[in-house]
Amino acid sequence: MPELPEVETVRRGLLPVMEGAVIARAEVRRPDLRWPFPEQMAERLTGARVTRLARRSKYILAELNTGETLIIHLGMSGRMLIAGAPTPGVFHHEEVVPQKHDHVVLHMDNGATITFNDARRFGAMDLAPTDGIDRHWLIEKLGPEPLGNAFSETYLAEALSGKNTPIKSALLDQRIVSGLGNIYVCEVLFRARLSPTRKAGKIARARTSALVPIVREVLSDAIEAGGSSLRDYRQADGELGYFQHRFQVYDREGEACVTPDCSGTINRITQSGRSTFYCPQCQR
């Protein structure tokens, strides 16, 4: 599933053709994806202007001048693909032939066509009042954004205090910090030299606080690289992300640790049904 860097990369790709543009015509080609689409979604989108294109955790939020916000979740295999964008220097793709898994198509008044393609149909779209978006059931329980000011050293230390869960599980808890997924938590803990099995509440406050700048560094590096292309993920212009070429531990089971002077080997264990990659010699 795309994590925060992948979703942010897609948002940035959509920004030039969506923000400020009008949805001249919306097509909804099936009644549902992971959940049913809202009633009359095509009619509610048609004619609406996108006033702001934002992101909350792993959700893209298209604020409309109708007072509603279109919530987009990519799920396991969802893609937002752009064709026919007229802006010089942005995207120059020819119009594409409709594909089997093109479920929602937005025809923008600037000539761009934005298609939500989702082969596995684990993605989702919903419409909700903009002024109550923080109370939407998908968003209301999310923790602070890891790249925002609310995610501070003091906040994280207090949020983890007394937690008996492993630090990796705690960082994956979207109520503590939103948007982090399996790939980037593995990379964060490696850079922090913390074992993923350490109990979150037993880690010294100084080491807990040090996680905050490392989280931001890893996410910023991944966004700069266009995210990580594993399985189905593509950027909005169809290109791959490249952060997977910078992985230091994730998906490197049995390979040598990249830390200088470390003779360790990357191990893989399972935590809460997910693969965790780490160096038992470096990460304590």
Per the domain annotation, does 74 fall within a domain? yes
- Token reading at 284: 């304590």
Structural domain includes residue 284: no
Per-residue pLDDT, averaged over 167-184, amounts to 95
Q: Are residues 131 and 158 in the same domain?
A: no
**Three-state DSSP class for 78?**
strand
Verify whether residue 2 is a known catalytic residue: yes
Pairing type for strands 78-83 and 23-28 reads unpaired
198 and 86 housed in the same domain: no
What is the rounded average pLDDT for all residues in the chain? 88
Same domain, residue pair 129 and 39:
yes
CATH of the domain at 115: 3.20.190.10
Which strand ranges, in their side-by-side order, compose the sheet holding 102-108? 23-28, 102-108, 113-118, 78-83
Residue 79 lies in a domain: yes
Average pLDDT value for residue range 49-66:
97
Query: What is the domain extent for residue 179?
Result: 153-278
Answer yes or no: do 85 and 178 share one domain: no
Residues 125 and 234 in one domain: no
- What token pair was written down for 180? 């982090």
CB 255 within 8 A of CB 262: no
CATH number of the domain that residue 163 is part of:
1.10.8.50
Long-range interactions of 243-252: CB distance < 8 A, separation 24+: 243/5, 246/221, 247/183, 247/187, 248/187, 248/190, 248/191, 249/186, 249/187, 249/190, 249/277, 249/278, 249/279, 250/182, 250/183, 250/186, 250/187, 250/277, 251/277, 252/277
Interstrand relation of 23-28 and 59-64 (parallel, antiparallel or unpaired): unpaired
80 plus 159 within the same structural domain: no
Q: Are residues 115 and 220 in the same domain?
A: no
141 counts as catalytic: no
Q: How many CA atoms lie within 13 A of 195 on its CB side?
A: 12
213 a catalytic residue? no
* Active-site option among 56, 58, 191, 234: 58
Note whether 236 and 125 are same-domain residues.
no
**Binding-site annotation, residues for DNA:** 101, 120, 163
Structure tokens at 57: 């955790």
Assigned domain for 141 exists: no
Is residue 25 domain-shared with residue 128, that is, in the same domain?
A: yes
pLDDT for the residue numbered 84: 82
Give the CA-trace dihedral at 224, 225, 226, 231, to 10 degrees.
Answer: -150
Single out the residue of 203, 171, 14 nearest to residue 91, CA to CA: 14
Among 3, 6, 63, 68, the one annotated catalytic = 3
| pTM listed for this prediction | 0.88
Q: Judge whether 125 lies within some domain.
A: yes
Same domain, 86 and 164: no
Domains: count for the chain: 2
pLDDT tens per residue across span 125-169: 999 999 999 999 999 999 999 999 999 999 999 999 999 999 999
Same-domain pairing of 14 and 105: yes
What gap in Å lies between CA 237 and CA 219, rounded to an integer?
21
